[in-house]
Amino acid sequence: MASVRPKPGEALYRSAQWNCFSFAAVHAIIPRDASGAKLKNLNSIAATRALARLATMAAAGVLVLGGAVPAQAAAHSRAGAIDTAALDRLAEQAHARGLFNGTLLVARNGRIVYQRATGVADGARTRALTTRDRFGIGSIGKEFSAVALMMLERQGALRLDDPVSRFVPGLPAWGDQVLVRHLLDYTSGLPGLRPNAAGDSLLADLRALPALQFAPGTGYLYSNNNIVLRRSVLEAAARTSFADYAQRMLLRPCGMRDAVIDPPPGAADVAAAFDNDFVGDAAGEAMPGFWIRVTANDLYRWSECLKSGRLLPVETLARHANADPKKDGALGRISLANGAIQRHRHQGSSYNFEAWLEADWADGTTVVVLTNNKNFRVGELAQAAFDIAGGKPYVVPKRSIFLALRDRIAKQGFDAGMAWLRTLPQAEAETYDLAAQEGDLNRTAYYLLQNGKRDDAVRLFRHIADAYPASANAWDSLGEALEAAGEGEEALTSYRKALALDPALTSSRDAVARLSGR
């Protein structure tokens, strides 16, 4: 299938500033009214961006809060090793385009050279973000349970080749076939979570699961049910809760002093996630006591801890790299050269939190991007930061048409979403990535199809085929949607159009054979 189509199970991808060589905190910058009182509500984007400008002034020494910029940091910036002014421009322009509200950190050779928090801490816009704020990191948090299981093997508490039934009683017969290592690399055959399943029902659902999607070790499916069983196995083998084990054996040894598990509502220095209409996420997690909120500092320290071998030999980590570089393994995506780790990259999201951790072990550069306002651009922001760190030209990303259209359809209906789309080329060319429009529309249509909005999905696929009549992928995707809707004859016509444009398109060729009885 053509590259613009998202693969099932893949994660969708796709201010206070300080330059320092310590982990000193940056003070929050809150604007005040004429009387000197703190503003109670930052009720405009302009006010938010004013905070970013004030913070930049503070870092430059024009406005000093909590002490001057360290002399060694200023000297480092003047030396030009990493262009921190360019990193400032990246954060500010991305924020101005409405696609970055969060923290950006860049480190090299074990030293943080740049860190900046941009935007607001919650949808109510009552407080500016600081680098002390903790964020949800989604799937990156799965690394903690994976590393814990590897450590427990080295401690003799389990073997990765043990069946999960040894630790989790009451599972069906497949519990004897699924090994602990299958949970690490998502080859267990476990299906996705049941919608709205949470808490104790997660394990109850698995105990009632009659069969797997495929025989363990023969396929790949990125399912959070693997994480449910990881936690149960870990707690049985360690004879303690995941939260206790993580604090004692992972967070403290790695110096992640600000990381917290399940912070209560309203806890200090904890960012709250919100959408592009500033509507906050509903509270609660599917697995209480498991997900860790971190600062950018914490996530950087975790990365350095893995690289140093403090928890596990790096050779052990390398053995768990996924053979397919396009699929997440136990530690996200790891690139190897001659068996040694060259790069560690992981994206994670949870509701409107999104995070990106990328460490180039070869040249010593690490970039962390955390946001509480997901716009599916953290990877592009990280790439721009790497380009700046390497002295290369960089591109400031633009907003995702997919996310904007998806949300408008969900909140206002399909027709309102399409009306907005028709105004896009004239009004938003500087903000949205129009060059990616076909792929973003295709992704939106598949999102609708996978979430039970079949009629809307077919309408959008028709629009894509009309707008991009020379695209084989557009006709192939329309055929898939029509086939799902029971429109076999029209689907066959669409598949044939796709094949006429691209005779090598295997999915359309197979569909034509299937629908025509040949």
Residue-wise pLDDT for 218-232, tens only, equals 999 999 999 999 999
Residue with the bigger pLDDT between 423 and 14: it is 423
User: Based on the number of CB atoms within 10 Å of its own CB, is 356 exposed (0-12), middle (13-18) or buried (19 or more)?
Assistant: buried
Give the Cα separation of 301 and 307 in Å (integer). 10
The pair phi, psi for residue 419, each rounded to 5°, is -65, -40
Distance between CA atoms of residues 16 and 201, nearest Å? 42
Listed in sequence order, the residues at least 6 apart from 202 whose beta carbon sits closer than 8 Å to its beta carbon are 193, 225, 228, 286, 287
**Beta-strand runs (E) in 9-137:** 16-18, 102-108, 111-118
- Residues 245 and 223: their CA atoms lie apart, in Å, by 23
Q: Which of 13-17, 31-35, 51-55, 61-65: highest mean pLDDT?
A: 51-55
Q: What is the pLDDT of the chain when averaged over all its residues?
A: 84
pLDDT of residue 430: 75
**pLDDT for 516:** 86
Least confident of 88-97, 382-391, 418-427: 418-427
Instruction: Round to whole Å and give the CA distance between 387 and 381.
Output: 10
Task: Find residue 368's DSSP bridge partners.
Answer: 105, 357
pLDDT tens for 133-168 read 999 999 999 999 999 999 999 999 999 999 999 999
Print burial letters for 209-235: b (CB count within 10 Å at least 16), e (below 16).
beebeeebeeebbbbbbbbbbbbbbbb
pLDDT of 8 above 60: no
Q: What pLDDT is attached to residue 285? A: 64
Does pLDDT of 37 surpass 60? no
Query: What is the reported pTM?
Result: 0.76
In the predicted model, is pLDDT for residue 33 greater than 80?
no
Tens of pLDDT, residue by residue over 425-454, are 666 667 888 888 899 999 999 999 988 899
d(CA 356, CA 20) in angstroms, rounded, equals: 22
Say if residue 80's pLDDT is above 80. Answer: no
pLDDT score of 198: 76
- Confidence at 517, pLDDT banded by 50, 70, 90: confident
- With residues binned 3-state (H G I as helix, E B as strand, rest as coil), the percentages for the chain, rounded to 5, are 45, 15, 45
Give the residue-averaged pLDDT of 40-46. Answer: 38
Name which residue leads in pLDDT, 10 or 479. Answer: 479
- Report pLDDT digits (tens) over 469-515: 999 999 999 999 999 999 999 999 999 999 999 999 999 999 999 89
Beta pairing partners, 365: 108, 360
Greatest Cα pair distance, the chain, in angstroms, is 80
Quick one: average pLDDT of 33-60? Answer: 37
Residue 1's Cβ-count burial label (10 Å; 0-12, 13-18, 19+) is middle
pLDDT exceeds 70 at position 42 = no
Cβ partners under 8 Å of residue 447, min gap 6:
402, 406
| Higher pLDDT, residue 2 or 338 | 338
What's the mean pLDDT in 254-259?
A: 97
SS3 sequence of 446-467: HHHHHCCCHHHHHHHHHHHHHH
Residue 456 token pair:
């809307």
- pLDDT, residue 414, reads 95
Given a cut of 70, whether residue 7 has pLDDT beyond it is no
Tell me the pLDDT tens digit for each residue of 348-375.
999 999 999 999 999 999 999 999 999 9
Of 71, 131, 78, 75, residue with least CA distance to 103? 131
Task: Please provide the DSSP assignment of 214-248 as one string.
Answer: S-TTS-----THHHHHHHHHHHHHHTS-HHHHIII
Domains for the chain: give ranges and CATH numbers.
401-516 (1.25.40.10)
